[in-house]
Amino acid sequence: RKIVFVTGNEDKYREVKEILEKKDIKIIQKDLEYPELQEDDLEPIAYYGAKWTADRLNMPVIVDDSGIFIEALNGFPGPYSAFVEKHLGNQKVLKLMDDETVRDATFKSVIGYCEPENEPIVFTGKVEGKIAYSERGEGGFGFDPIFEYQGKTFAEIGDYEKNKVSHRMRALEKFYEWLD
Ligand code: ITT
Ligand code: NA
């Protein structure tokens, strides 16, 4: 089975490829920009992104819309995660968290799958953790250096361990179980 993964993010692509290849699903990356709705949650963004790209490419596609939801910041940056990472970065996020003792955060990934002319379907995966007090680790990407899972950041545990527990793996697991 072959599915096109529409993303401009090489790190997401690497993780998705590694996870799905173990399930004999071949992934091809296509960097096609699609309209991202302004919504409070990620599901509608993935839903419309999958529909839009499947119809344009005329192939079965997946998209991944993800983000980090910080409890003390009322869920921010959530659907604005890409913007915040690009324009503010981890140091400024840590600064916003300076006086906060409640450090809980949730990483969420929504995989949208769509076949041309069909309705899309979305699969949500979550992992709970804490915002660290400083960036730690060399692996991963994006918010990984500040997201602590069981005492270590996602950047410290590396791809292999991350892919066993991540929000993305949990969403993809629902997806390939549904495919079967
Ligand atoms: P697309 O082309 O797939 O949309 P993107 O990087 O713009 O790529 P999103 O719109 O889903 O992706 O934005 C998600 C943001 O959250 C982005 O800044 C990512 O770097 C970050 N992010 C997503 N998954 C992550 C993960 O597993 N670890 C760390 N940061 C992550
Ligand atoms: Na994006």
Ligand 1 atom nearest the C-alpha of 15 is 27
pLDDT at 55 over 90: yes
**Pair 169, 163: CB distance under 8 Å:** yes
Cα 145 to averaged position of ligand 1 atoms, centre (Å) = 14
Cα(137)–Cα(154) distance, integer angstroms: 8
The residues annotated as belonging to the active site are 65
ipTM of the complex: 0.98
pLDDT at 1 over 90: no
Residue-wise pLDDT for 102-151, tens only, equals: 999 999 999 999 999 999 999 999 999 999 999 999 999 999 999 999 99
Name the residue at shortest CA distance from atom 3 of ligand 1: 7
E strands, the chain, where? Answer: 2-6, 26-30, 61-70, 104-114, 121-131, 147-149, 152-153
The pTM is what?
0.97
Cα 54 to averaged position of ligand 1 atoms, centre (Å) = 20
Q: Which CATH class is domain 2-179?
A: alpha beta
DSSP run (H or E) holding 115? none
Q: Tell me what the pLDDT averaged over the chain comes to.
A: 97
